[in-house]
Amino acid sequence: MLNSERALDFIRDGDVVGLGTGRAAFSFIRALGERVRAGLQIQGVPTSCASTELAEQLGIPLTTLDEVEALDICVDGADEVDPRLNLIKGYGGALLREKIVATAAKRLVILVGTEKLVARLGARGILPVEVVPFALGFCRRQIAALGCRPEPRQAGDQLYVTDNGNHILDCKIAPLPDAAAFERALRSIPGVVGTGLFLGMAHEVLVQDGDEVVVKQRS
């Protein structure tokens, strides 16, 4: 993907880089691996077991949040981007670790295609919410009371299990008139450990439109 190559322009020798999860992030990791083999000195902090495995295959040196105080940059994808660069993430199931790594980074760069741009968050109709297994039924009822339809994510015949050992409720939503208020309401429910709302976090969004990459910056 062209925006994966463009994202490499943001990486500097010696950086600690957050490595996202999903199709766009994996494309970036592959491009980063080529630069590492060419001599770029960086360390990566993966957001999932899948991104860890890919980075190891490509020879990207890895570290952890226990070993570094902060990340210089995190590069990831998104499932929705609104005009203010607020995001919905989590269709790939790594939303909690992605939010932790993004928060630890000084800069968050998001890679998307034009199909991910929306006028208002919730336009694609799904908001992932990660919950602890003990509270799955309780959280499902509490979230439903907020006016959406939470459905446990499945993996075949079993409940989907995140890398953290939790479950995901895919909440069927309409476009959100106040995403920040909805985030606060969700996070107030005991058992909810993360939501797919990434509000005010992205610094740049690289939008690939055919053979062109448009860079959107948060004002």
Q: Is 34 a catalytic residue?
A: no
Q: Does residue 95 fall inside a structural domain?
A: yes
Q: Residue 83 to residues 20, 87, 149, 202: CA-CA distances in angstroms?
A: 22, 10, 26, 12
SS3 37: helix
Residue 13, both tokens: 């020798």
Task: Indicate which CATH number applies to the domain containing 136.
Answer: 3.30.70.260
Task: Indicate which CATH number applies to the domain containing 52.
Answer: 3.40.50.1360
Q: Does residue 89 fall inside a structural domain?
A: yes
* Domain identity same for 13 and 103: yes
* Domain identity same for 158 and 145: yes
Task: Provide the domain limits for residue 18.
Answer: 2-115+199-209
Looking at every residue in the chain, the average pLDDT score rounds to 97
Q: How far apart are CA 191 and CA 180, in angstroms?
A: 19
Q: In this predicted model, what pLDDT tens digit does every residue of 37-95 receive, in sequence order?
A: 999 999 999 999 999 999 999 999 999 999 999 999 999 999 999 999 999 999 999 99
Write out residues in the chain with pLDDT < 50, as ranges. none
Q: Does residue 23 fall inside a structural domain?
A: yes
Give residue 2's pLDDT. Answer: 87
Q: Does residue 217 fall inside a structural domain?
A: no
* Domain identity same for 6 and 107: yes
Closest CA to 98 of 50, 42, 62: 50
Q: Does residue 140 fall inside a structural domain?
A: yes
Q: Quick one: what percent of the chain has pLDDT higher than 70?
A: 100
* Domain identity same for 37 and 135: no
Count Cβ atoms below 10 Å from residue 173 Cβ, excluding itself. Answer: 22
Give residue 219's pLDDT. Answer: 78
Torsion of CA 96, 101, 104, 109, to 10 degrees: -120
* Domain identity same for 9 and 96: yes
Q: Does residue 26 fall inside a structural domain?
A: yes
SS3 114: helix
Domains of the chain: total: 2
Q: Strand 73-77 and strand 108-113: pairing?
A: parallel
Residues 173, 88: contact at Cβ < 8 Å? no
Residues 69, 105: contact at Cβ < 8 Å? no
Residue 18, both tokens: 């957050």
Give residue 3's pLDDT. Answer: 92
* Domain identity same for 8 and 102: yes
* Domain identity same for 185 and 83: no
* Domain identity same for 11 and 81: yes
Q: Which of 53, 67, 98, 204 is catalytic?
A: 98
Q: Does residue 91 fall inside a structural domain?
A: yes
Q: Does residue 83 fall inside a structural domain?
A: yes
